[in-house]
């Protein structure tokens, strides 16, 4: 089982007191599931919170990770391999219809799928579990 994690620390103004609010956002794979978290604390008052969930990260977290760390691209290593295990993995992991899985598989086979490094590691793990060979590059090339 792959363990992947990626995070970003951000600062903003506290809505309660106007002080400096420090928040940590992240995405990770935990027990075979894609997960995300955000926690923040004001440096001047008691304003603090923590939120965590499984599944795709909210767009604000994804964008912070992509802006700071750049995108990752996942591609099939063997373009001539059977598409059946790819379709099964995509349907299971993303709860897609067969048509949606076919479109995603075509993209994976042609230009590759682009997302955060954690999203691509999670998808790669599911594909490799079905004996599909994939590659991940750390930036769009």
Share of the chain above pLDDT 90, in %: 87
- In the predicted structure, residue 139 carries a pLDDT above the cut 70: no
pTM: 0.87
DSSP 111: T
Long-range own/partner contacts, residues 59-65 (CB < 8 A, 24 or more apart): 60/25, 61/25, 61/26, 61/27, 61/36, 62/27, 62/115, 62/116, 62/119, 64/8, 64/10, 64/25, 65/6, 65/7, 65/8, 65/25, 65/26, 65/27, 65/116, 65/117, 65/118
Q: Which pLDDT belongs to residue 2?
A: 57
- In the predicted structure, residue 1 carries a pLDDT above the cut 70: no
Q: What is the mean pLDDT of residues 76-89?
A: 91
Q: What is the mean pLDDT of residues 70-81?
A: 91
């Amino acid at each position: 089982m792959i363990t992947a994690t990626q995070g970003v620390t951000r600062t903003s103004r506290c809505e309660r007191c106007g002080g400096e609010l420090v928040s940590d956002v992240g995405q990770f794979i935990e027990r075979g599931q894609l997960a995300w978290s955000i926690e923040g604390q004001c440096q001047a008052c008691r304003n603090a919170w923590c939120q965590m969930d499984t599944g795709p990260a909210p767009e604000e977290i994804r964008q912070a990770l992509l802006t700071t760390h750049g995108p990752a691209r996942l591609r099939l290593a063997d373009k001539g391999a059977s598409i059946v295990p790819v379709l099964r993995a995509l349907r299971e992991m993303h709860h897609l219809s067969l048509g949606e899985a076919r479109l995603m598989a075509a993209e994976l086979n042609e230009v590759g799928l682009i997302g955060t490094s954690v999203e691509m590691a999670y998808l790669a793990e599911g594909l490799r579990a079905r004996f599909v060979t994939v590659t991940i590059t750390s930036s769009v090339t």
